[in-house]
C-alpha cells in the first residue's frame, strides 16, 4: 500500500493468506508432520541486549505496539485502518493447518479448539472495527502464535500417510 500507514507485518499477513495453496499443503502434510520449526533459543538474547544498549528504554515492547495500533486507528485513512486491524487472517490459516497436522492427536485438538472461541477467533473484527478492542486483539494474536510455536516444537504429531 503506497504511502499508507499499514505496517509490513499487515501486508505480509495478507500475502500469506492470499498465496496459500490448500491442495499443496494437504499433499505435503506428512512432510509438515515430520519437521519442527527452528529453536529460536539458538539465537540467544543478543537482540535484547542490543536493544537495551541502543534504546532509551522509556517504552517497553508492549507499549510500543499499543502506541502503533492506536496511531494507526486514529490517524490512518479508513481503508488502511480496516486493513491493519483485519490483518490476522493468517491466524485462522495457521489454526486450520495445525488442526490438520494434529488431526490424530485428541489432546492437541482440544487445545486448538480453545482458539475457536468467539473472543479469541477475532471474527467480530471483520464486522465492526470501531467497537473492537485492539489490545485484546493483539493479545490473542501473540498468545496463539506462542502456543502454535510451542506445540510444533514440543509435541510431535503422528506421521500417518495422509490422503487429501
Is there a contact between 130 and 94 (Cβ–Cβ < 8 Å)?
no
DSSP readout, 8-28?
Answer: HHHHHHHHHHHH--HHHHHHT
Instruction: Name the burial class of residue 127, with classes exposed (0-12), middle (13-18) and buried (19+) by CB atoms within 10 angstroms of its CB.
Output: exposed
* pLDDT score of 4 more than 80: no
> How long a stretch of residues is the chain?
164
pLDDT digits (tens, 9 = 90+) for 128-154: 445 566 667 677 777 888 899 999 999
Q: Cα(86)–Cα(80) distance, rounded to whole angstroms?
A: 10
Of 23 and 141, which is predicted with more confidence? 23
pLDDT digits (tens, 9 = 90+) for 88-106: 677 888 899 999 999 999 9
Q: Where along the chain do its domains lie?
A: 8-154
Q: In this predicted structure, what is the pLDDT of residue 135?
A: 66
Amino acid at each position: 500500500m503506497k504511502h499508507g500507514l499499514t505496517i509490513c507485518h499487515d501486508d505480509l499477513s495478507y500475502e500469506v493468506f492470499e498465496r496459500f495453496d490448500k491442495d499443496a499443503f494437504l499433499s505435503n502434510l506428512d512432510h509438515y508432520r515430520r519437521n519442527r520449526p527452528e529453536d529460536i533459543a539458538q539465537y540467544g538474547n543478543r537482540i535484547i541486549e542490543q536493544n537495551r544498549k541502543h534504546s532509551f528504554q522509556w517504552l517497553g515492547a508492549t507499549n510500543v505496539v499499543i502506541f502503533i495500533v492506536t496511531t494507526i486507528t486514529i490517524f490512518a485513512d479508513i481503508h488502511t485502518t480496516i486493513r491493519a486491524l483485519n490483518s490476522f487472517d493468517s491466524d485462522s490459516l495457521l489454526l486450520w493447518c495445525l488442526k490438520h497436522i494434529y488431526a490424530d492427536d485428541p489432546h492437541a485438538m482440544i487445545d486448538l479448539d480453545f482458539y475457536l472461541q468467539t473472543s479469541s477467533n477475532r471474527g467480530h473484527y471483520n464486522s465492526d472495527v470501531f467497537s473492537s478492542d485492539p489490545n485484546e486483539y493483539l493479545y490473542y494474536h501473540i498468545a496463539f502464535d506462542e502456543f502454535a510455536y510451542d506445540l510444533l516444537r514440543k509435541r510431535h504429531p503422528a506421521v500417518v500417510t495422509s490422503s487429501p
